[in-house]
Amino acid sequence: MDPLLVLAQALNGIQFGVMLFLMAAGLTLVFGIMNLINLAHGSFYMVGAYAAAATFQTTGSFLAASIAGIGAGAAVGLAVEIAVFRRLYARDHLDQVLATFGLILFFNEMVRIIWGSTALYATVPAFLAGQVEILPGAPYPAYRLAIIAVGLAVAALLYLLVGKTRLGMLIRAGAADRVMLGALGVNVKILYTLVFGLGAALAALAGLMAGPIFTVEAGMGENVLILAFVVIVIGGIGSIRGAFVAALLVGFVDTMGRAFLRPLLATVMTNAAADNAGPALASMLIYLMMAAVLFFRPRGLFPPRTR
């Protein structure tokens, strides 16, 4: 096996992981701070992608599209927070799962009503359309490098925000004991709304960046949503650090599995059998990994020390 290919695939895995992190960060933030399971997180991702693609089509400006994407995602997130989620904070997880499941159905149809059933055209901006020769003989799409850069920047920013700012301190306090926080005079309601908006904006950012390389269609959020949940479950709910590590792990394992599992299996079984077993096993790999992690660490790899 070509070592250069292995390196290239490893890079692919890391990049996929960073994309997952963007999605998972918002999810684990909201879940960790507000103890809210939000299946509609994928819908914010979708709204971000649609708003950005539609804006790009009319204005041709990537900057305008990005602003529109994040803005739309945050706006929809805030609207939903006020209308629906405020009533769900006090409810148990099952209610939250079901209500947000209903929201998924609603948002998926709304984008189809507004933009039709055809997928939207979304492309990478011209200045990022080329390839960069990271490894000799293996040109890498420039846009994906940009995604890695943005993802790492977001990770750093979140780390600073949660760990080093006053707002972050409030967030961590709220996660530990929100009743006490309210008793100390902090407006917990506003705090929640802010955090929720931040989570939605992160999802929208992931969506608008994913649009050019993935398909902008109704239901695009669900696939990524499941992966994001796998990530935060493995990482430990409420832990940004856990989400980062788990996202890279999931991205890496999934990519390497798809790249090398079939050839590896072909060394121990017939080609035809490997053709069947390889893809089947590759599709199950991350779920197996999650089950294994939960078996030994039922609360994930880095469960935050709260409650």
Partner 1 sequence: MPPDNPVSARGLITFAVIVVLALLPPATAALGIGFYVDIFTRIMIFAIAALSLDIILGYGGMVSFGHAAFLGIGAYSVGILAFYGVDNGFLQFGVAILASAVVALFIGFVSLRTSGIYFIMITLAFAQMIYFLSISINTYGGDNGLNIDRHSEFTRFIDLNDANTLYYLVFAVLVLFLLLGRRLVASRFGMVIRGAKSNERRMEAVGFPVLRYRLAAFVIAGAMGGVAGALLANQDLFVSPSIMQWTRSGEILMMVILGGMGTLVGPIFGAVVFLVLETALSDVTGHWQAIMGPILVLVVLFARDGIFGLLSHRCAESRRG
Partner 2 sequence: MNKRLAAVVAAFVLAASPAFAADTVKIGFITTLSGPAGIIGKHMKDAADLALKELHGKIGGLNAAIVYGDDQFKPDVGRQVAEEMLKRDQVNFITGIIWSNVLLAIRQPVLRSGAILISANAGPHELAGPLCAPNFFSTSWQNDETPEAMGQYMTQHKISDVYLMAPNYAAGHDMITGFKRYFKGKVVAEVYTNLGQSDYQAEISNIRAAKPKAVFVFLPGGMGIQFLKQYAQSGLRGQIPLYSVFTADETTLPAIGGAADGNYEAGFWNYDFDNAANKKFVADFRRDYGYIPSYYAAQSYDAIKLIDSAVRAVHGNLKDAKGIIAAMNKADFASIRGPFRYNTNHFPIENFYLFKIVKTPDGGYARKTESVIFRDHKDAYYSECHMTM
Binding site for partner 2 (CB under 8 A): 2, 4-5, 8-9, 12-13, 15-16, 19, 108-109, 112, 116-124, 129-131, 138-141, 143-144, 212-220, 223-224, 255-256, 258-259, 262, 275, 278-280, 282-283
Site for partner 1 in 4-33 (CB under 8 A): 31
CA distance 272 to 153: 44
Minimum distance from CB of 237 to partner 1 (Å)?
Answer: 6
Site of tokens 């149809």: 109
CA distances from 208 to 67, 71, 141 (A): 10, 11, 17
Minimum distance from CB of 298 to partner 1 (Å)?
Answer: 4
- Is the CB of 133 or the CB of 295 nearer to partner 1? 295
Among residues 10, 15, 6, 26, the alpha carbon closest in space to that of 213 is found at 15
- Is the CB of 173 or the CB of 222 nearer to partner 2? 222
Q: Choose among partner 1, partner 2, none what residue 93 binds, the Cβ cut-off being 5 to 8 Å by kind.
A: partner 1
Among residues 203, 221, 208, the alpha carbon closest in space to that of 53 is found at 208
Q: Choose among partner 2, partner 1, none what residue 165 binds, the Cβ cut-off being 5 to 8 Å by kind.
A: none
Partners of 139 in beta bridges? 133
Given a contact cutoff of 8 angstroms between Cβ atoms, the answer to whether 242 and 28 are in contact is yes
Minimum distance from CB of 15 to partner 2 (Å)?
Answer: 7
Among residues 159, 157, 189, the alpha carbon closest in space to that of 174 is found at 189
Extended strands (E) in 146-292: none
Half-sphere exposure of 213 (CA within 13 A, CB side): 16
Name the segment binding partner 1 (CB under 8 A); options: 49-57, 68-76, 89-97, 194-202: 89-97
* 65 counts as binding partner 1 under rule CB under 8 A: no
Contacts of 74 (CB under 8 A, 6+ apart): 197, 200, 201, 204
How many chain residues interact with partner 1 (CB under 8 A)? Answer: 43
Name the segment binding partner 1 (CB under 8 A); options: 101-109, 118-126, 177-185, 263-271: 101-109
CA distance 158 to 167: 11
CA distance 253 to 244: 14
* 183 counts as binding partner 1 under rule CB under 8 A: no
CA distance 15 to 288: 22
Print the binding letters for residues 259-278 with partner 1: x by CB under 8 A, - otherwise.
Answer: -----------------x--
- Is the CB of 155 or the CB of 233 nearer to partner 1? 233
Binding site for partner 1 (CB under 8 A): 31, 37, 84, 87-88, 91, 93-95, 97-99, 101-110, 112-113, 226, 229-230, 233, 237, 276, 279-280, 283-284, 287-288, 290-291, 294-295, 298-300
